[in-house]
Structure 1
Amino acid sequence: MPGMPKKGGRKPPASAVRKDKRLSEKQELEQLEQRCKHPIMGVDSMQQFDELPISQKTLSGLKRANFIKMTDIQRKALPLGLCGKDILGAAKTGSGKTLAFLVPMVEMLYRQKWGPMDGLGALVISPTRELAVQIFEVLRKVGREHSFSAGLIIGGKDWKIERELISKMNILVCTPGRLLQHMDQSAGFDCDHLQLLVLDEADRILDMGFKKSVNAIVENLPRQRQTMLFSATQTKSVKDLARLSLKDPEYVAVHEKAEHSTPKNLSQYYMVVPLQQKLDVMFNFIKTHLTAKGIVFLSSCKQVRFVFETFCKLHPGVPLLHLHGKQKQQKRAETYAKFAAQKAAYLFCTDIAARGLDFAAVNWVIQLDCPEDPETYIHRVGRTARYEASGQAMLMLCPSEEAGMIQGLERAKVPIQEVKLKTDAKDVKKEPIQKQMQRLCFNDPEIKYLGQKAFISYMRSVYLQKDKTIFDVNALPAEEFAASLGLPGAPKIKFVEKSKAKNAVRGNQKKTNDDEESDQYMEEEEEKSKVKALDAKKKSKKEPIPEEEETAETTISKQPKSKIDKMFGRKNQSVLAEHYTRLVDHESDAKGKSNVDDDDEDFLTIKRVDHDLAGDEASEEAPLPTSKRQQNMSKVERLKNQGKGNKLIFDEEGQAHEIYELEDEASFHAKGDASSQQKEFLEKERKVMDKADTIDKSAAKEKLREKKLRRKQREREEMMDYDSDEGETIVTLGNPDVSDDDNDMDQGSDGNGHSSDGGEEEETPKKRGWWQDKADAEEAKKKRRVVEVDEPQTLAEQEALALKLLGM
């Protein structure tokens, strides 16, 4: 019948399928363990990944990512990594080093049946965030069939979210700084069971920039582990390898015996360009290569931003991007993805993009600033001509950098040829952009500010370089370079002046004694001429200039000064004036002035004669006015600028003491020990407080008595106005003066005799009853009258009082 399954076509139960799957995985693991215990046979003849002892899950991920054929570094490093050997891998850029450590990592955890509850098993450390992202993306492709948990831990992301998930990760791809932060601050993050440590771009991670971070990380890792180091320029330092606890590492250098250390398909050129012409050459290069995709390397973040901002305003006709370490992580990721997707664009960046990043189809790598060393040059040019593609590289050198850098590149086996800069306008369309840069700096203060920062950062980067045979900051044309950036002048930099001073000292050390004496004589003569010039200038300010001798300078000086000129001409007389006068050597100034005839200052000028009196400390603390402005100040202004004096008290002998003066240690111990003095002081102060409390209570009691007397007097005056025949009669018994005075505790006062409602109101109005309306209450109040009588003592007096109250 149609729709019925055929005989023998039933599906097996799910339990049987799972059982067969477990058996096959178990058999596969046993076979992989047997093949990886011993060195893999026939390694040299292997060309594809499926010939290696790799699980089917890893092979499936490699095939889906189109990784089928192995590269040279993978062919030599993978068999050693699968066997658990420590590896030092060195290969050219773009040769596939990432898979050389990711495949052994995944396979090692798979063979050990690593699960989610086993914690961290493998760790990959990268020097930059972009490279860590790239490694993590490759790991996702290779290990997509496995059940491991992997995490990307880099700066710029939410640390709290990472802290919650990091303890559940089996594989971590991270940067050193963020990893160390989690090791120090994340509770539950444990690295005690780590099986594999990988350092990508190991020479960069192990240098001075990450030295402290890496040392702290390694201290938290177990010594029994597998370690792999990969880079295009591998480190061989014994100290670096010893602190990583490598055991008999295998050095895998695929291209060590090669003729060149850079890819064969890479065409490399260099050009000697004066520093002030580099931006002109760069802009014209972009204008003539509008369909190309290039990366431009500069030495600092501020230079990257300045060149990017100015070139964008000049509109070269091609998309421009910039990437540097001062950007936020989201912006860096967007720039990275956008440039990778572009077919024609130029990326201005620092060395943050020099290592490991794989951009598709980069045609040109242009190094506008000289690299730090040949290793940095190799990593920079490695962004193009990756794997089997071709590419071109251009290096722009200043005349002072050419000899040393070219020698270093020759030692590093880098083939590079020189290209002459064409200066004829007929041969090349050259447009100097200096005037346009000046216009941008003049119109936009932010561009000018960026230009100043770019100038300083470039000069600092040259000054801080170690190899002085290549980098000489004194050989750079600072003024011309500043003008090429559009700046009106070169900013003054302290470290450049220091370097010049050091060079001057070194030159002076080579001089003979005769030369030193002659130089000293010349310096003395120069100082004397300066003193004479200053004196002449002072006289010229005082004496009127004849009309015939007036020059342009004198006419300018006669013009009225602005507030800014006056502000710069003034000296601060109020802030630290006393301290300043103490620091200035007035005696030497007086000696210098005594040699000059200055009769005009002495004319009709009264000066105080200084007397050397013993113990005259006040004259030392308050010096005389030293400038003409101080002499012309009024007494009130001078008093304002003087410091505040100290208040003094005089004892019986007439000696001055400060109000709060510390006691001598001897006199303090003479009075007894500290505890007894403390008790005595507390007892004395307690008596003073008790006495003051008694006075306060008596004053409050007297105030309350006066208050009650005033209230009773007012009530008597009000009752006298009422008619005795009408109204209500209220009888008060006893003497009100005596009874009220003796009653210290009534309803309107507290225990200390103070009024509970503040003491201001003398009497609170009587409240109306709930059964009375307002009119009845007012009428009852009018009819009320008070009659004061003595308290009845006999029966007859009580009857008389009762009849009186009844109105009979």
Structure 2
Amino acid sequence: MFSPPATPQDQPNSIMAPRGVKGKPKAKAHQDSGRILKRKRGEEQISDLVKQVEELDLKASLKNFSDLPLSEPTASGLSASHYKTLTDIQARAISHGLKGRDILGAAKTGSGKTLAFLVPVIENLYRKKWTELDGLGALILSPTRELAIQIFEQLRKVGRNHHFSAGLIIGGKSLREEQDRMGRMNILVCTPGRMLQHLDQTAMFETNNLQMLVLDEADRILDMGFQKTVDAIIDHLPKQRQTMLFSATQTKKVGDLARLSLQEPEYVSVHESADAATPSTLQQHYTVIPLPQKLDTLWSFIRANLKAKTIVFLSSGKQVRYCYEALRHLQPGISLLHLHGRQKQGGRLDVTTKFSQAQHAVLFATDVVARGLDFPAVDWVIQMDCPEDADTYIHRVGRTARYERVGRAVLFLDPSEEKGFLNQLEQKKVPVVRINIKANKQHSVKNQLQNMCFKDPELKYLGQKAFISYVKSVYVQKDKETFKIKELPLEEYAQSLGLPGAPRIKFIKGDDAKERKNESWRMAHMSSDDDSDAEKKDKKDEKEVRTRYDRMFERRNQGVLAEHYSKLINDDGTMIDNGTKDVSKDVDDEADEDADFLSVKRRFTAGDENLGAASGSDSDSDSDSDAEKDTTGVKKVHIAGQDPLIIDSKRREKLLKSKKKLLKFKGKGTKLIYDDEGNAHEVYEMESEDAFKAKGDANTQREKFLEGETERTRQADIEDKEVMREKRREKKEKRKARERAEIAAEAEEEGDFQGLSHLPHVPFEIPGSDSESEPEPRPSKKQRVSGDEEPSKAPKSIETLGDLEALASGLLG
């Protein structure tokens, strides 16, 4: 126990007290003697506690906290928190913990396991006179942030009269602020991930002097989700320590216990011989509901229990989000909350606080809430999705009927999950009774959800994610006897969520592909034939959904032409030459007039693309340019690789306006792909070995290929050089133009035309100079004309009108 901080009077003072003041030395001596007596009294109390703990009988029956050898600060903290009577797990575990033994504690949910390890932690550090200078003395690990917060709050209540420094280390907060205080903490309550981060990154944080390690919900911390993290934490801790593990479903695996370096642990299981693994005050029921009807049943239950406090468990956070948003829009008449691991820490704290303080509310949650959390007065626990195992079921239903209160739980099971999961519950001694849902009390919200998803794309997106996450949660389960994904009606389930259809799920198709691959070729072939026949039959049975747009685009003007006219036309649109008269001319004229009324015609020219020719509605000049006329006056359109298309009727001219009909006359297209530079080229395909050998010897083909590549490289080099020359030429011309502009500007500034500035400015040279007879030599690259220098051929100054006339005659000369 820390001594009280020194007062200013206790500090040494360099200034002497005046002689006239009397009695101060005696008062100081009196204070010192009182402090010494208080310290001696504290040491005597601690020594008495140590003796009482050594003499404690582990087999004695204890009923109250006063029967335990506890220090005065701990006893007063328990009394102030209204803890007087010991529960079964507390009566047996605290005595072993006070003696410093390793403990494996197992008890039902809501039996007070938190105090069973908090009291030994506080008392052992108190008896060892732990101070800030000793560093970290106890480390308590929790699987979830909410449970860590709850443990820390209970530690503050019980240890309010002690002088230990305790800290809460969880994710979602500033790491730097926690690092500044880590070195002064005696007790830490933390989550595994955040603790490992501090052990690796905080320089001043040391655990060499650790005395106690506590794992709450030990089976969850030691499973696959935290295995690597916990192993890394244990590597930082000293092996000589006291270790305590507590959970409602305690682990007994030898590997787990060896990892923690437990030394002769005491297994404390107060309810191992009980008839049931759950509290006797808990009423447990299950009902068999097909998957598509679960959401309707949940809605009906919420509407029927508006004056209750309910927790609804689902498999994934996306399902929690969708159910919360969907039912919130329906306004059930009760407060709705949701909690899952993807929320920010501040939001999670607000939700837990609101639900704890609420009298009537519904909380949609994942298994983040399933372990250890103590929400007061929870009436119902609804498990909408089947839990992964019986242990998870026990922890979920443990949120109600705590501390011998009454509670009720209902489990929704799909018909495919009933047999397998009931066997698991029977092995764990969990009594459940089947109940039936009254049909007249059940209301469907399927149509309302579909309407909301149609109007709100965000809600539809949440529904798609919820569907995929649920299917994935079922797919990854190890217990395939309970979770049979192929027996679930997924299409109907998607419709019950308000979705127009089931989203595509890739991992299920991949699983089917693996199974087909492992079968023999013949069996796979037979199954594929059977599947194809079944698919064809299903397609025939299904009614195709056709919208008004489909019907509109499928309309054809079939009744315009006479019946005998269709007999004169082949399927490809060519005329049948049987020597008969063209009786369809008048009909064609009428049809063409109808088509011209408020219609948009597409015209494909027969130029480079060879797609068609001009129509009869276009001008004669266009039609002559696009199609060639025969000597008889018949138009012909040439198509690459095909016979010329003869246009001998207006129907054939209309044929050229339809891309769909022109596909019959065009060859097969080639697929183009784009490289990194954006250039299009055909798809590279591997050549067969026979085709390769048909071209000749490999060495000959290699030489031919190298020659072609060499020539292509040479041509590319020539083109590149030409491009560079052109760029240099343009650059040179720009430089010359800039130089001429600078020279002209200087000449204009220096020239004095003696009042004749109104004359037009023209470039000129001095008459009779050498520039008229001989061309000026080309300057080298090193020569540059700067703005400060005057050009070498600058004009002379003009003083009289005669000089100007002479200059003009020289220029004209």
- TM-score range normalised by the length of the shorter chain: 0.5 to 0.7
Tell me if structure 2 keeps the 8 A contact 1:39–1:79: no
- Tell me the residue number matched to 2:788: 761
Residue 476 (structure 1) aligned to one of 477, 483, 488: 488
Residue 392 (structure 2) aligned to one of 330, 352, 376: 376
CA positional deviation for 1:492: 1.4
- Tell me the residue number matched to 1:447: 459
2: distance between equivalents of 1:284 and 1:407?
29
2: distance between equivalents of 1:20 and 1:754?
103
CA positional deviation for 1:490: 0.8
Structure 2 length as normaliser, TM-score? 0.65
- Tell me the residue number matched to 2:680: 641
CA positional deviation for 1:249: 0.3
Q: What whole-Å deviation, never above 9, does each CA across 1:741-766 have from its counterpart, x for those lacking one? A: xxxxxxxxxxxx999xx931238xxx
Q: Provide the secondary structure at the position in 1 that maps to 2:156.
A: helix
Tell me if structure 1 keeps the 8 A contact 2:58–2:96: no
CA positional deviation for 1:45: 2.5
1: distance between equivalents of 2:328 and 2:531?
52
Tell me if structure 2 keeps the 8 A contact 1:39–1:80: no
CA, structure 1 residues 397+11, in 2 after alignment: closer, same or farther (shift >3 Å)? Answer: farther
Tell me if structure 2 keeps the 8 A contact 1:365–1:381: yes
CA positional deviation for 1:24: 1.5
Would you say 1:494 and 2:528 are equivalent positions?
A: no
CA positional deviation for 1:16: 3.6
Q: What whole-Å deviation, never above 9, does each CA across 1:610-662 have from its counterpart, x for those lacking one? A: xxxxxxxxxxxxxxxx99988789x9x9x963489xxxxx9xx988549999x
Would you say 1:83 and 2:120 are equivalent positions?
A: no
Tell me if structure 1 keeps the 8 A contact 2:64–2:86: yes
CA, structure 1 residues 517+483, in 2 after alignment: closer, same or farther (shift >3 Å)? Answer: closer
Would you say 1:104 and 2:120 are equivalent positions?
A: yes
2: distance between equivalents of 1:150 and 1:298?
35
Would you say 1:51 and 2:78 are equivalent positions?
A: no
CA positional deviation for 1:20: 2.6
- Tell me the residue number matched to 1:182: 198
- Tell me the residue number matched to 2:303: 287
Letter in 2 for 1:270: Y
Q: Provide the secondary structure at the position in 1 that maps to 2:388.
A: coil
CA, structure 1 residues 226+640, in 2 after alignment: closer, same or farther (shift >3 Å)? Answer: closer
- Tell me the residue number matched to 1:485: 497
Tell me if structure 1 keeps the 8 A contact 2:639–2:666: no
1: distance between equivalents of 2:186 and 2:713?
68
CA, structure 1 residues 472+545, in 2 after alignment: closer, same or farther (shift >3 Å)? Answer: farther
Letter in 2 for 1:367: Q
Letter in 1 for 2:789: E
2: distance between equivalents of 1:627 and 1:321?
63
Letter in 2 for 1:28: Q
Residue 466 (structure 1) aligned to one of 457, 470, 478: 478
- Tell me the residue number matched to 1:18: 35
Would you say 1:435 and 2:462 are equivalent positions?
A: no
- Tell me the residue number matched to 1:733: none
Would you say 1:307 and 2:323 are equivalent positions?
A: yes
Residue 235 (structure 1) aligned to one of 236, 248, 251: 251
CA, structure 1 residues 12+270, in 2 after alignment: closer, same or farther (shift >3 Å)? Answer: farther
CA, structure 1 residues 363+520, in 2 after alignment: closer, same or farther (shift >3 Å)? Answer: closer
Letter in 2 for 1:316: P
Q: Provide the secondary structure at the position in 2 that maps to 1:468.
A: coil
Q: What whole-Å deviation, never above 9, does each CA across 1:67-115 have from its counterpart, x for those lacking one? A: 1111100000001001100000000001010011111111111111111
Residue 371 (structure 2) aligned to one of 347, 355, 359: 355
Letter in 2 for 1:32: L
Tell me if structure 2 keeps the 8 A contact 1:474–1:496: no
Instruction: Spell out the pairing of 1:300-339 with structure 2 (5 A cutoff).
Output: 300-339=316-355
Q: What whole-Å deviation, never above 9, does each CA across 1:399-445 have from its counterpart, x for those lacking one? A: 0000011111011000110001222x2xxx32211111111101111
Q: What whole-Å deviation, never above 9, does each CA across 1:259-303 have from its counterpart, x for those lacking one? A: 110001000000001111111111111111111001000000000
Would you say 1:158 and 2:177 are equivalent positions?
A: no
Letter in 2 for 1:117: L
CA positional deviation for 1:186: 1.4
Instruction: Spell out the pairing of 1:512-591 with structure 2 (5 A cutoff).
Output: none
- Tell me the residue number matched to 2:641: 606
1: distance between equivalents of 2:500 and 2:381?
32
- Tell me the residue number matched to 1:135: 151
- Tell me the residue number matched to 2:225: 209
Tell me if structure 2 keeps the 8 A contact 1:321–1:339: yes
CA positional deviation for 1:140: 0.5
Tell me if structure 2 keeps the 8 A contact 1:435–1:486: yes
Letter in 2 for 1:340: S
Letter in 2 for 1:479: E
2: distance between equivalents of 1:413 and 1:461?
26
CA, structure 1 residues 34+383, in 2 after alignment: closer, same or farther (shift >3 Å)? Answer: same
Q: Provide the secondary structure at the position in 2 that maps to 1:168.
A: coil
Would you say 1:248 and 2:287 are equivalent positions?
A: no
Letter in 2 for 1:339: F
Tell me if structure 2 keeps the 8 A contact 1:43–1:79: no
Q: Provide the secondary structure at the position in 2 that maps to 1:88.
A: strand
Tell me if structure 2 keeps the 8 A contact 1:474–1:499: no
Letter in 1 for 2:680: N
- Tell me the residue number matched to 2:764: none
1: distance between equivalents of 2:713 and 2:101?
77
- Tell me the residue number matched to 1:398: 414
- Tell me the residue number matched to 2:799: none
Tell me if structure 1 keeps the 8 A contact 2:464–2:503: yes
CA positional deviation for 1:497: 2.3
CA, structure 1 residues 181+632, in 2 after alignment: closer, same or farther (shift >3 Å)? Answer: closer
Would you say 1:33 and 2:47 are equivalent positions?
A: no
Tell me if structure 2 keeps the 8 A contact 1:441–1:486: yes
CA positional deviation for 1:476: 0.5
- Structure 2: state its 5+ residue gaps: 1-26, 537-553, 567-594, 596-636, 644-662, 684-702, 715-735, 755-781, 791-813
Instruction: Spell out the pairing of 1:776-791 with structure 2 (5 A cutoff).
Output: none
Q: Provide the secondary structure at the position in 2 that maps to 1:326.
A: coil
- Tell me the residue number matched to 2:360: 344
CA, structure 1 residues 13+66, in 2 after alignment: closer, same or farther (shift >3 Å)? Answer: farther
Instruction: Spell out the pairing of 1:401-412 with structure 2 (5 A cutoff).
Output: 401-412=417-428
Q: What whole-Å deviation, never above 9, does each CA across 1:654-711 have from its counterpart, x for those lacking one? A: 88549999xxxxxxxxxxxxxxxxxxxxxxxxxxxxxxxxxxxxxxxxx9xx99xx99
2: distance between equivalents of 1:277 and 1:420?
13
Structure 1 length as normaliser, TM-score? 0.65
CA positional deviation for 1:200: 0.3
CA, structure 1 residues 110+478, in 2 after alignment: closer, same or farther (shift >3 Å)? Answer: same
- Tell me the residue number matched to 1:60: 76
Of stretches 78-87 and 52-61 in structure 1, the one that deviates more from structure 2 is: 52-61
